[in-house]
Chains A and B, each alone.
Chain A
């Protein structure tokens, strides 16, 4: 039996989170104003805000965010589909699984960031190099989750539908995929972060627009406010996409006994 626990007060949680954020930003700002923190190296919340406001007026933000979002979403979709399909195929065919799963583990151990300059060399400064570098990060996260999710399927469920007359594809469709969906969604949420990292790092190495480019450009000018401003925008972006995925998740996984 589970121990009796009192539910956490949601308002208290939110209030504490806001208070911590305010305290952190206020401490930072006051530290800079009091001369204890060097604003050249660490900027300050007000300067970062001013930089973001400036970008907004110049029309950079909408443009940069749209470009980075587009690269991220494309990387997420392509990497997600490839990862899910590979996961299903390799987990439901033992021979292919035995051949390719170790290979994917090996490939996954490559630090992807080091490949980004190659992608730029191969695919140019275009959209493609950003999407590819997002894909190679997302792909593995989603693949391993799908693979594990299918391997984790309760064998009784498979036996049950087989006796009822399920062919191989029926088992995949009615048992393996739905069972793996919980894992796939959990992985998609971390994949969002990876897709964004892929896109932004590629922008950082070579681009003419996008949030990553904006950060790199600010850095080149030793503009720390610009670097932090770009990071702040990225945080908002991730939160936004993550909220969207959780919304979809709640609708797809209605059969789950617990609130997600």
Chain B
């Protein structure tokens, strides 16, 4: 990554798109405080990031649930780590397990659930401690198309009106446009911000039908022009290197 300059307004749903390996995930790690930048600064809510960002929640592409904890204990964990205990913690965990539609699965272990259900648990685990910023690193890319659409709709439902800022990394332009208020296109490494687009589609959105909106198609072709060059570039480089 080099010369990435990116300001994200609070309460917005922002999607980062770009070719694989361009540094989208690194951007999220920097914001979360999991990695420190070799040069430059990252600030969250006006304060430089120094250690883990308290107000952030992170949804990973890979399964990140603890396989040795039940659904309930996985959702309780962030509360315990933040000093919320007893009946308040139990009530909040139960509420979120219900909100992601997993009531009745509290005692199940992750390996007993489908990929989509595990993602729902991850979502509950992240939202249960009410982070102001949600960092999502291609969270649904490992799911099948139907489950993925369901999860996208569910995410929008949970986010709508929550006042949370979402930074959503994806390589799928359609997903980015369908979900976000703003799409940031990044260049093939070294990563820079190539272009930013406002997505003016109305909210609340219907994930199923928004893709049929003529404005969706229009935005898609505009952004794809930008993205295509980067994808081709990164593809050519990968081939030259391979």
Q: Say whether A161 faces chain B, with CB atoms less than 8 Å apart.
A: yes
CB contacts under 8 Å to A, within B17-57, are 29, 32, 34, 52-54, 56-57
Return the CB mask of A140-175 against B: 1 if under 8 Å, else 0: 000000000000001011011111111100100011
Residue of B nearest to A164 (CB): B78
Cβ-defined contact, B77 with A174, below 8 A: yes
A182 to chain B, nearest CB (A): 9
Residues of B within 8 A of A164 (CB): 57, 77-78, 81-82, 125-126, 129
Q: How far is the CA of A167 from the CA of B29 in the complex (A)?
A: 17
Task: Indicate if the CB atoms of A255 and B57 lie closer than 8 Å.
Answer: no
Given the known interface contacts A161-B77, A163-B32, A164-B129, the answer about A156 and B63 at a Cβ–Cβ threshold of 8 Å is yes
Q: Is the interface of A mostly helix, strand, loop or mixed?
A: helix
Q: Are B68 and A156 in touch, CB under 8 angstroms?
A: no
Q: A174-B77, A255-B69, A255-B111 are in contact. Are A160 and B54 (CB under 8 A)?
A: no
> Using a CB-CB cutoff of 8 Å, which residues 83-120 of chain A contact chain B?
none
A163-B56, A165-B52 known; A255-B109 Cβ under 8 A: yes
Contacts of B126 in A (CB 8 A): 164
Are B62 and A156 in contact, with the CB atoms below 8 A? Answer: yes
A160 touching B81, Cβ below 8 Å? no
Q: Which of chain B's residues has its CB closest to A175's CB?
A: B66
Chain B contact surface mostly: loop
A7 contacts B by Cβ under 8 Å: no
Given A159-B58, A255-B109, verify A165-B63 contact (CB < 8 Å).
Answer: no
The CA of A255 and the CA of B110, in the complex, are separated in Å by 8
Q: How many A-B residue pairs have CB under 8 A?
A: 64
Residues in A206-253 with C-beta less than 8 Å from chain B: 253
A59 at interface, CB cutoff 8 A: no
Q: Is A35 an interface residue (CB 8 A)?
A: no
Interface code B116-143, partner A: CB below 8 Å = 1, 0 otherwise? 0000000001100100000000000000
**Cα(A98)–Cα(B49), bound, Å:** 30
CB under 8 Å from chain A, chain B span 58-89: 58, 60, 62-70, 77-78, 81-82
Is A49 interfacial (CB 8 A cutoff)? Answer: no
Contact assessment for B52 and A162 in the assembled complex, using a CB-CB cutoff below 8 Å: yes
Give min CB distance, A150 to chain B, whole Å.
Answer: 14
A128 to B65: give the CA distance in the assembly, Å.
Answer: 45
User: Which residue of B has the minimal Cβ distance to A253?
Assistant: B68
- By a CB distance below 8 angstroms, the chain B residues around A175 are 66
Chain B residue nearest to A154 (CB atoms) is B62
A179 partner residues in chain B, CB cutoff 8 A: 68
Query: Considering the chains assembled together, what is the distance between the CA atoms of A174 and B86 in angstroms?
Result: 18
- Please tell me which one of the listed residues B34, B56, B67, B81 contacts residue A170 in the complex, with CB atoms under 8 A apart: B81
Given contacts A161-B77, A163-B56, A165-B81, contact A174 B64 (CB under 8 A): no
* Distance to closest chain B CB from A173 (angstroms): 10
Q: Ordered nearest first, which 6 A-B pairs have the shortest CB separation? A: A160-B64, A164-B78, A257-B111, A165-B81, A163-B58, A178-B68
B→A interface (CB under 8 Å): 29, 32, 34, 52-54, 56-58, 60, 62-70, 77-78, 81-82, 109-111, 125-126, 129
